[in-house]
């Protein structure tokens, strides 16, 4: 099937989504039990937009990204669900959907997933020192990625590597291309990492906490750079972070995750000005607001994230939720439902809908 679409159109159909994740379950089989890292994640990622994934540590943000790249290592594995990638060809301001591939069907070490990694989906990790190979120069690593996916000579690949280093605003790119990662500062390494990710112009860039290891000034520079590149290239980005300030700055749409599931999904303004899930509301109450006139103390979210090995009955947030309704919330698992009168705003909570999942009240 071949369909032509404008790159910046609002998503209205499956052809306008670069990636669809459906009912994704990823478990880790350890000696102490099965850790259910993802318990039925559903996500739609539209072309040319920035989707933020937020939530506390351990909610499944990074495992979602690693599952999409088929980089989950044993004892972890995808046990259920689909990750559907639309493969596209871009021409100027339009793209053509060539075909659809279900990433969960692919051999994680096979040729097809290798051709997708880097060329169709690229990833920027939290700590560039763990992602860049310390024994190769930055240029060698970018050239290798280009040669793997594009039919160009070594000289041309090196020229492209220098160009992309200039594009991420690394000063003196002609010299940086021959430097080793340890010769660069943290901010320069992260720029080099972004250059490597962009070197094959992927349809989707996944940035997993890309600024967490940086100081605030460098963080602001990297965020500016990513926003600029996204606008110039009309790139689709999944931005994983626990920092709601970064979300407000970067994202068009936000998915809030809790214990391996999306509990609220909405346009960024709705998340900040009209959050509907008690967990999202609690997250927002726990961060400082610049310009706030009240002198209210910040409210931490009470309790801790439940043990991922535990077999939880009812809503996974019920023992931390101030709005919990005993006899309802601790008995059934709420289903995701669309909020009436809202566009693209869904929430998983019995305060908004009676819909529930499964028959036994346990998170599947």
Q: Which of 287, 323, 343, 355 binds ligand SF4 (CB under 6 A)?
A: 323
3-state secondary structure of 324: coil
Please state at what angle helix 138-149 crosses helix 186-198, rounded to 10 degrees: 10
Q: Is 261 in the site for ligand SF4 (CB under 6 A)?
A: no
Nearer of residues 244 and 324 to ligand SF4, judged by Cβ: 324
Angstrom distance (rounded) from CA 126 to CA 117: 18
Q: Which of 351, 353, 356, 357 binds ligand SF4 (CB under 6 A)?
A: 351
Rank residues 152 and 305 by Cβ distance to ligand SF4 and give the closer one. Answer: 305
Shortest Cβ 231–ligand SF4 spacing (Å): 36
Nearer CB in complex with ligand SF4: 310/323: 323
**Which of these, 169, 171, 165, 249, lies nearest to 211 by C-alpha position?**
249
Longest dimension (CA), the chain: 68
Residue closer to ligand SF4 (CB basis): 129 or 351: 351
Closest approach of Cβ 331 to ligand SF4, in Å?
10
Per CB under 6 A, the list member of 118, 181, 275, 334 interacting with ligand SF4 is 334
**What angle, 0 to 180 degrees and rounded to 10, lies between the N-to-C axes of helices 186-198 and 154-167?**
130
95, 88 contact by CB (below 8 A): yes
In sequence order, the β-bridge partners of residue 346 are: 265, 338
CA angle 130, 135, 140 (to 5 degrees): 95
Q: Which stretch binds ligand SF4 (CB under 6 A): 35-43, 107-115, 244-252, 322-330?
A: 322-330
| Residue 295 preceded by cis peptide, ω within 30 | no
Tell the smallest beta-carbon distance from residue 332 to ligand SF4 (Å).
8
List the one residue from 76, 275, 278, 308 that touches ligand SF4 (CB under 6 A).
Answer: 278
Q: Is residue 350 near ligand SF4 by the rule CB under 6 A?
A: yes
Q: Is 164 in the site for ligand SF4 (CB under 6 A)?
A: no
Which three-class secondary structure state does DSSP give residue 124?
strand
Using the rule CB under 6 A, give the single segment among 1-9, 87-95, 130-138, 324-332 that binds ligand SF4: 324-332
Q: Token pair for residue 271? A: 């998340």
Closer by beta carbon to ligand SF4, 63 or else 315: 315
Binding to ligand SF4, residues 78-107 (CB under 6 A): none
Residue 362 half-sphere exposure toward CB, CA atoms < 13 A: 6
CA-to-CA distance for 45 and 165, rounded, in angstroms?
27
Q: Which stretch binds ligand SF4 (CB under 6 A): 129-137, 170-178, 189-197, 347-355?
A: 347-355
Output the smallest distance, CB 288 to ligand SF4, in A: 24
Round to whole Å and give the CA distance between 67 and 85.
13
- The residues binding ligand SF4 (CB under 6 A) are 278, 315, 317-318, 321, 323-325, 329, 334, 349-351
């Amino acid at each position: 099937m071949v369909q032509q679409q404008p790159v910046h159109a609002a998503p209205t159909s499956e052809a306008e989504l670069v990636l669809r994740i459906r009912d994704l379950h990823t478990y880790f089989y350890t000696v102490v039990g099965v850790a259910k890292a993802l318990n039925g994640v559903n996500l739609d990622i539209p072309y040319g937009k920035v989707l933020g994934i937020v939530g506390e540590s351990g909610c499944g943000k990074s495992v979602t990204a690693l599952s999409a790249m088929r980089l989950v290592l044993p004892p972890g594995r995808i046990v259920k669900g689909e990750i559907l990638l639309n493969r596209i060809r871009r021409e100027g301001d339009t793209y053509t959907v060539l075909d659809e591939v279900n990433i969960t069907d692919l051999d994680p070490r096979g040729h097809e997933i290798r051709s997708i990694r880097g060329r169709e989906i690229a990833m920027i990790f939290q700590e560039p020192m763990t992602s860049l190979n310390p024994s190769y120069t930055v240029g060698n690593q970018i050239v290798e990625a280009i040669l793997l996916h594009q039919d160009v000579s070594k000289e041309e690949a090196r020229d492209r590597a220098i160009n992309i280093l200039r594009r991420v605003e690394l000063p003196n790119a002609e010299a940086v291309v021959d430097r080793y990662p340890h010769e660069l500062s943290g901010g320069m390494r992260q720029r080099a990492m972004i250059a490597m990710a962009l070197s094959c112009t992927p349809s989707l860039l996944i940035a997993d906490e890309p600024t967490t290891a940086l100081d605030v000034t460098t963080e602001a520079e990297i965020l500016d750079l990513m926003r600029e590149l996204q606008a110039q290239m009309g790139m689709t980005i999944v931005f994983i972070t626990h920092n709601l300030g970064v979300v407000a700055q970067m994202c068009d749409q936000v998915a809030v995750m809790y214990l391996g599931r999306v509990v609220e999904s909405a346009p960024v303004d709705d998340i900040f000005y009209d959050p509907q899930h008690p967990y999202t509301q609690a997250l927002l109450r726990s961060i400082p607001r610049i310009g706030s006139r009240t002198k209210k103390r910040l409210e931490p979210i009470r309790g801790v994230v439940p043990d991922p090995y535990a077999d939880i009955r009812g809503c996974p947030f019920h023992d931390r939720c101030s709005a919990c309704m005993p006899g309802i919330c601790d008995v059934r698992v709420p289903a995701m439902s669309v909020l009436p009168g809202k566009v693209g705003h869904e929430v998983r909570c019995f305060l908004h809908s009676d819909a529930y999942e499964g028959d036994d009240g346990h998170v599947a």
